[in-house]
Amino acid sequence: MNAAARPLFLSSRFTQAVDYARILHIEARKGSDIPYMSHLLGVASLVMGENGHAPVPVTEDMAIAAVLHDAVEDHGGMLRLRDVEHNFGAEVARMVAGLSDSFVEGANQKAPWAERKAGYVERLGSEPLDVQLISAADKLYNARTILSDHRGIGARVWERFKRGRDEQLWYYRELLRVFKAQPSNRIVEEFARVVAELESVTAHD
């Protein structure tokens, strides 16, 4: 059963989070000229759009965590997480931690891709529904982008990632397995449809 709809009002905390992310994420999206903020705001938009439809009430803290979901794993690890908690509170920090697959300070200190993703999938199953909803929105946004870009450049889209098609699709299937163990929501259902289409159209890559 979906959570009862409640008006979702965004305060200056959300504006502060967007500005925090804008300063932090000056990079472009993988293999493109698209500002990274487009991804963060896109994920936040998906999450906020589920207010009244998801099995958990959507809160401003969730919207903020969506904007900041890559801050810790990409920009500073545990030091960044403490800064997020200082600026946005323990609830936002809890969710951002649950959305992170690495907590090391430097990118060159991260564990291998497969190890990080397998660990994330294993941990995600015990995360609360708010974290799982944001995670599903993040993965849906990414899968949609790959599918859209594949229409334009074909198999070359996989060159943007540390791992190719088979590994990326393995990761998405494992995530779906975790998400589907919980009450269904529109984001997970759409993610499943996009992954199925992505598998089909890229079968000969």
pLDDT tens for 78-131 read: 999 999 999 999 999 999 999 999 998 887 889 999 999 999 999 999 999 999
Measured between alpha carbons, how far is 82 from 169 in angstroms, rounded to an integer? Answer: 33
pLDDT digits (tens, 9 = 90+) for 150-182: 999 999 999 988 789 999 999 999 999 999 999
Measured between alpha carbons, how far is 146 from 160 in angstroms, rounded to an integer? Answer: 10
The pLDDT of residue 5: 65
Its pTM stands at: 0.94
The pLDDT of residue 107: 77
Measured between alpha carbons, how far is 80 from 26 in angstroms, rounded to an integer? Answer: 16
Measured between alpha carbons, how far is 25 from 33 in angstroms, rounded to an integer? Answer: 13
Residues in contact with 141: Cβ distance below 8 Å, sequence separation at least 6, in sequence order: 39, 42, 43, 46
**DSSP β-bridge partners for residue 28:** 35
Complete domains list, the chain, with CATH: 12-201 (1.10.3210.10)
